[in-house]
Structure 1
Amino acid sequence: MADTITVVVATHNEGKLVEIRRILEEGLGADAARIELKSAGSLGLDDPTETGVTFEENALLKARDAARQTGMPAIADDSGLIVDVMGAAPGILSARWAGAHGHDAANNALLLAQIDDIPDAKRTARFRCAAALVVPAAAGSETGSETVELGEMPGVIIRKARGEHGFGYDPIFVPDDQPGRTSDDPDHEGEPLTSAEMTPKEKNAISHRGKALRALVPAIEALLG
């Protein structure tokens, strides 16, 4: 087998690392065995300040920082929820919408309160993800490479959380694309699944992160040679 390449994933969220690994395994097939993914958290890297005003800018910023600190290729993503009636908010502020970064329950509660009086038909939204791969310049070379890809998952915001899987806004988001089965919740039997009711495989097949990372596969394959 050809040499294994270590790629840093610019995250301290080990759950996200597992999700990214699954998606890349599906996209790369047998070549996935040649990629060793390490999280920034496991390497003791600090998170950079996210000063970008778009998902693309923040994904590149994080990937560049991880590549600079380690000298290794780095993958980063930046994603969030865009609610149409809120003028595309919470957007890049999704993870800290209620104030504290990553406080999922508080973020969900605040968002639901803010659109409580919005009719169901107007509660359209989408998750958007930008995924970046930054390859630092090799010895003797002046330039590396940077690739950014986008993915979206459209759907609607429901009124009460359902499901135990996923993270973030998954329990209050019902994707338009469904896996062909319905909710097992006794109070919502027969209704479409939230992202948090889907299995990881079902969610990855339609998710914004899955789409963006699968679009990165050709650049990763080029890295593998």
Structure 2
Amino acid sequence: MSLPDGVSAPDGAARVAVPASARLVLATHNRGKLAELRAILAEQPGLDLPDDAVVSAADLATQEPVEDGATFAENALIKARALAAATGLPALADDSGLAVDVLGGAPGIFSARWAGRHGDDAANLELLLAQLADVRPEHRAAGFVCAAALVTPDGTETVREGALRGTLLTAPRGESGFGYDPVLRPDGEERSCAELDPAEKNAISHRGQAFRAIAPAVAAALAR
């Protein structure tokens, strides 16, 4: 599929070929996130998409842009814009992290590299818990935040957000999930996010909320 008139790939980004069946691309290399989006879109009235209509950035081997935005929404838009330009398809991206009240919303967009090395979950958790070691339970409020961005090849942009509020534990609990899941206990729960099964977590998660909020805009874009 070629790029539409007036749409160009970002500087340094190669244009990619996409399958003829593809109608939407998701900026992820996580197969679970792709499955979650497909399930949410299946809930949209009047939208009947085969699974192969929604593909991932990993499926297309696209280049990843530099995420240098100052907010979750800005970083999600950076990723979605790059994918829409490179593929000529409507593109959906998300960016998320943990916001701790007593830290003024940090780690925020730096959640994945809070300890200095991107994706080192154990080090990130250890540093965060050390920083909050003397903070009383009533001041340990925090939440996961997610911004989802849809960009279509004609330049239309839509952003929706979701949040999962809770309290930070003093030690990790649970074996499921990833990132900061073991230390956030959602409001109304006795278990950490890492102690919830995937279906329970997806039903209340910040990402699930953001994807569900933006799903009508996705459905409208695909119906054009």
Q: Is the 8 A contact 1:149 1:216 kept in 2?
A: yes
The alpha-carbon distance between structure 1 residues 21 and 108, as it changes in their structure 2 partners (threshold 3 A), is farther
Q: Is the 8 A contact 2:41 2:219 kept in 1?
A: no
TM-score relative to the length of structure 1: 0.83
Aligned pair count reads 203
1:1-225 paired onto structure 2 within 5 Å: 5-25=22-42, 27-28=43-44, 31=47, 33-34=49-50, 36-137=53-154, 144-178=155-189, 192-225=190-223
TM-score relative to the length of structure 2: 0.83
The alpha-carbon distance between structure 1 residues 32 and 160, as it changes in their structure 2 partners (threshold 3 A), is farther
Consecutive unaligned residues in structure 1, runs of 5 or more: 138-143, 179-191
| Bigger shift: residues 158-167 or 9-18 | 9-18
Which letter maps to 1:52? G
Which letter maps to 1:125? A
Q: Is the 8 A contact 1:4 1:33 kept in 2?
A: no
Q: Is the 8 A contact 1:162 1:172 kept in 2?
A: yes
Superposed displacement of residue 42, structure 1:
2.5
Which letter maps to 1:152? A
**Paired residue for 2:6?**
none
Question: Could you say what secondary structure the match of 1:129 adopts?
Answer: strand
Which letter maps to 2:162? G
Question: Could you say what secondary structure the match of 1:42 adopts?
Answer: helix
Distance 1:199 1:20 in 2: 18
Q: Is the 8 A contact 1:162 1:194 kept in 2?
A: yes
Distance 2:89 2:198 in 1: 28
| Bigger shift: residues 122-131 or 6-15 | 6-15
RMSD of Structure 2 on Structure 1 (CA): 1.9
Superposed displacement of residue 177, structure 1:
4.1
Superposed displacement of residue 32, structure 1:
5.4
**C-alpha distance after superposition, 1:16-42 (max 9, x if no partner):** 3334334444x4267353463222122
Identity among equivalent pairs (%): 54
After TM superposition, the runs of 4+ consecutive aligned structure 1 residues lying more than 4 A away are: none
